[in-house]
Amino acid sequence: MYVAVKGGEKAIHNSVQLLGDVRRGDSSVPELQTNQIEQQLRLAVAKVMNEGALYDPMLASLAIKQASGDLLEACFLLRAYRTTLSRMGYSLPIDTHGMRIQRRISATFKDLPGGQVLGATYDYTQRLLDFSLLDKHQPEQLELSQDNAEAMESILAVFDQENLLESDLPLEGDPDPKDITREPIHFPADRPTRLQNLVRSDEGFLLGMAYSTQRGYGHTHPFAAEIRFGFVNVVIKPDELDFCIDIGEIEVTECQMINQFAGSKDIPPQFTRGYGLVFGHQERKAMAMSLVDRSLRAKELGESIESPAQMEEFVLSHSDSLESSGFVQHLKLPHYVDFQSELELVRRLRQKASEVDHNE
């Protein structure tokens, strides 16, 4: 006799217990500490802070530990935590011109004031697995001073003197940007709104979209004018006080792409910009963001919209990993009622079709 299955609650409880066990792994192996993640997996921490939309390396490390290293799951944890935080106010815009540089390169100029500062990057390594990392080892004490970090003028300010590059001006009237976490996006969306969406977008998705623009699905010929990574100060100016207060510093990566532009009947030929800005050290993401930013400016620059990376609604509606992951994975939820309806329909249609066959 069929008895309806009950016990969903117990099943969930057991699953969660099991997860805790599996996450810990072999208990003879030392437990992972969040400060180890923060120090030694800093690029994972950067990604999680950025797509989790919350700058807090300790919390991001905790999320990574809790998520067993699933970075999208960790982003979700951080975003959900962010929702519970009360909002004190807004800082002043960060000043990336005044960034204390840890790394600064330009592909458009062989040399530039301040020089090419390579910093610490995987770019110049050879991708050979280093088996010596399997053992613990004492690192050499390097003589390099961390105090090298100093401000450098942006190359674009210098380049701009010939007026070959479009100005980077705010929108007319310099309105406050919309906060996409407080108001839903409407299409068509202005550039500040689009950029907000792109900052927190999934790196993989954005990378694919950016790549497509380089392969003919878009018209831009991009050059990396400048990529910089370093420390910027966060400054607030409370209503009650008449002066600014420095509340700390964060690390950001900024990418300025310049693109060839043939001009239109209204605008003379000049170079146009694409911009990327992210928390932490994430050049790939900042670069992808700047390519897609430029691509989405197609309408404003009078370019015909033919490729997915130029389609604002397509890009911005599918860029958030929480949304895409949630909806793709929701297919695991019970759908037997909808399926039942479909079953019933297909059976009837087949029955009807076979009746027709008989009659022929």
| Residues at the interface with other proteins (CB under 8 A) | 1-2, 4-9, 11-12, 76, 79-80, 82-84, 86, 180-184, 186-188, 313, 317, 322-323, 325-330, 333-338, 340-345, 349, 352
Residue closer to other proteins (CB basis): 111 or 183: 183
Give the C-alpha separation, 257 to 60, whole Å: 29
Q: How far is CA 241 from CA 95, 236, 238, 244, 245, in A?
A: 21, 10, 6, 8, 9
3-state class (DSSP) for residue 265: coil
CB 143 within 8 A of CB 156: no
Mapping DSSP onto H, E and C, the string for 6-33 reads CCHHHHHHHHHHHHHHHHHCCCCCCCCC
| Tokens found for residue 167 | 């100005």
254 forms beta bridges with 228, 277
Q: CA of 36: how far to CAs of 43, 170, 244, 266, 353, in Å?
A: 13, 41, 35, 55, 65
**Which residue's CB is nearer to other proteins, number 107 or number 346?**
346
Nearer to other proteins, 11 or 107 (CB): 11
Looking at the Cβ atoms of 265 and 330, the one nearer to other proteins is 330
Q: How far is the CB of 321 from other proteins (least distance, A)?
A: 10
Task: Give the separation between CA 254 and CA 256, rounded to whole angstroms.
Answer: 7
CB of 314 to other proteins, least distance (A): 8
Shortest separation between residue 65's beta carbon and other proteins, angstroms: 18
> Is 64 within 8 Å of 44 (Cβ atoms)?
yes
Q: How many CB atoms lie within 10 A of CB 215?
A: 8
Query: Measured from the CB of residue 20, what is the shortest distance to other proteins in angstroms?
Result: 17
Instruction: Tell me the closest approach of the beta carbon of residue 204 to other proteins, in angstroms.
Output: 17
Residue number with CB closer to other proteins (7 or 93): 7
CB closer to other proteins, 87 vs 215: 87
Quote the least distance from Cβ 194 to other proteins, whole Å.
Answer: 14
